[in-house]
Amino acid sequence: MPRTFYEFFAGGGMVRAGLGENWVCLFANDFDRKKGETYKRNWGQDHLIVDDIRNISPEEMPGRPDLVWGSFPCQDLSLAGGGAGLKGDRSGTFWPFISHIQALRDESRAPAIIALENVLGTLTSHGGADFTAICQALTDLGYTYGAIVADAAHFVPQSRPRLFVIGVRNDMSIAPLTTTDEPKAPWHTNGLKNAYNRLPHDLQKNWQWWKLPKPKKRTSKFADLVEDNPASTPWHKPAETTLLLSMMSEVNLAKVETAKASGSKMVGTIYKRTRHEHGIKVQRAEVRFDEIAGCLRTPAGGSSRQLIMVVEGSKIRSRLISTRETARLMGLPDTYELPDRYNEAYHLTGDGVAVPVVRYIAQHLFEKLINEIEPAKNREQA
């Protein structure tokens, strides 16, 4: 029996890609027209509504989904954001999302599972008050819940830790071996444990420590994903690479010298960051050659676009990371169609959910939980 889902804040449909062919999308929504066009190019337009989440009505959401996923905007919860939290214009769309779940519940169509994804700043936003509000909202809807922190680096060469809050309807049996009595690494970090400890006692009583197996060691490295001749961005001219090197501190220049002396092709990634040195602001190019890319971010400015540097002996080349490389870092196949414009493609991938992380959670948690529902359905029909 196929499993069904809704995907709110769907972007380019990366959650759909991660869930896989055994899951059927009943409804998808995003307010961004450009992302919606990419979604349609890859998945068709059936079940997709491009509109503000506040404008969606229950009649537009068909069936009774097994899973409702919501990767609500992170800007107001991010440590780099303005700190508005769940009261902000963007992250505050969490509340219309919850209202839709309530509407489904009123019509006896509440999903078996709710999955929320966001940045780790969610755990500490407003001293933990926003995380408490999320747990309270799930409690009020009639869900038992817990959370995990999953880093995409377990599966792809990109450092991308994210929080996943997963709620299960109270009337469901929770599958054996999907919970543990105590937090376990790597899924339950100190930050998550601290957030749990800050919850009021009545919310702690409704908590589950979800259990997933430890992932196998990743074998891919960033250099494996790099294009020799990308179509989306050119290699820098030598003067541009020299300028980039001039922006490096002694520590970062030493990394480049070590790469040159290695005797092999070394591929690093660079972010430009503003640092305070001797009382003044200085823009620095900070490089890493640890075979993993930095976390992709949406391109709000030149400093937030990741660059790459390829070192082969004394030869050094640099350029912006290509859009196909960003897609590969998110676990998307090369058959996935990206927007033609560089910034649109970078924004789409930088705003998404790593595909193999979704697949892992679905395989080791969602599908085990839903398998417990199906026997109960069959008994009711008998």
pLDDT at 84: 65
Q: How far apart are CA 242 and CA 318, in angstroms?
A: 9
Structure confidence at residue 313 (pLDDT): 94
Query: Residue 381 above 50 pLDDT?
Result: no
Residue 382's pLDDT band, with cuts at 50, 70 and 90, is very low
Please check whether the domain covering 3-215+350-381 is classified as CATH 3.40.50.150: yes
| pLDDT tens figures, 348-375 | 999 999 999 999 999 999 999 998 765 4
Query: Quick check: 298 pLDDT over 90?
Result: no
Q: Is-contact 161 150, C-beta < 8 A?
A: yes
pLDDT at position 93 is 83
- Min mean pLDDT across 51-60, 79-88, 99-108, 150-159 is at 79-88
Q: Residues 240-264: what's their mean pLDDT?
A: 96
The phi and psi torsions of 217 (rounded to 5 degrees) equal -65, 130
∠ CA(358), CA(362), CA(363), 5° rounding?
120
Structure token pair of residue 21: 């062919």
Question: Strands of 307-312's sheet, edge to edge?
Answer: 280-288, 266-277, 307-312, 315-320
Q: Cα separation of 78 and 72, whole Å?
A: 12
Arithmetic mean of pLDDT, 306-318: 96
* Cα 347 → chain centroid: 13
Q: What are the extents of the domains in the chain?
A: 3-215+350-381, 234-321
52: DSSP letter:
-
> Residue 375's pLDDT is what?
46
pLDDT at 251 over 80: yes
Say which residues have a Cβ less than 8 Å from residue 9's Cβ, sequence separation at least 6. Answer: 29, 30, 53, 70, 71, 72, 73, 93, 97
Average pLDDT on 112-119 reads 96
Is-cis flag, bond preceding 234, omega within 30? no
Q: Are strands 307-312 and 280-288 parallel, antiparallel or unpaired?
A: unpaired
Distance CA 28, CA 61 (A): 9
In this predicted structure, what is the pLDDT of residue 376?
43
